[in-house]
A and B are shown apart, each in its own frame.
Chain A
């Protein structure tokens, strides 16, 4: 009378063990797949965020450069006006326009040289920065290529 009951218990235990084994394996595989998906999605996110940083970084650089150089230009303009009034105040009406211009140029020479150096310096810094940003953008595009579907890559990233 008890034999079928014991037999049934053993079968039930074996089925449970088998099911648990299968379930654990399935869960593990599912977790691994999810981690891999998350990893790939994070790479796409990092590349997309990096491209955004590059875009706004380059925009900020040029914005800053224009601001600095416009200020330098305006200050040189103001100095030029002051130099004109100084030269006119120091000299009589006998001086020709050409002489006045020459004296103004002499007075402003140091400022002009300084301004020219600043312009070159800022411009070179800007060019360097833009090259760095461009290289970063290219690397983000390379990261994206194997991670997104071909049609999306073609739509978003390939040169047109």
Chain B
């Protein structure tokens, strides 16, 4: 998931302001997905510490 997300967010694109704005929007759109991964990793830390 995170690798696919990274590939999507860092893919090359033709430079212009519109495309850059679209890329910024993509970051905003993918934020919930990214936060979900962070939550899973945080839960895993708790599991590893036996809490």
Residues of chain A at the chain B interface (Cβ within 8 Å): 37-38, 40-41, 44-45, 47-48, 51-52, 54-55, 58-59, 62-63, 65-66, 69-70, 73, 123, 130-131, 133-134, 137-138, 141, 144, 148-149, 152, 155-160
Contact = CB atoms under 8 A, between A and B. Distances in A.
Interface residues of B, number: 26
Interface class of chain B by DSSP: helix
B1 to A, nearest CB: 5
Contact of A65 (B9, B20, B40): B20
Given A41-B45, A58-B9, A148-B44, A159 B4 contact: yes
B24 A63 contact: yes
Interface in B1-51: 1-4, 6-7, 9-10, 15, 17, 20-21, 23-24, 27, 34, 37-38, 40-42, 44-45, 48-50
A48 B38 CA distance: 6
A144 B9 CA distance: 20
Contacts of A51: 2, 37-38
B11 to A, nearest CB: 10
A38 B38 contact: no
Contacts of B45: 41, 44-45, 48
Interface class of chain A by DSSP: helix
A49 B25 CA distance: 22
A51 B27 CA distance: 14
A148 B38 CA distance: 13
A52 B41 CA distance: 11
Given A62-B20, A157-B2, 8 more contacts: A37-B48, A44-B41, A58-B10, A66-B17, A156-B37, A158-B3, A159-B3, A159-B7
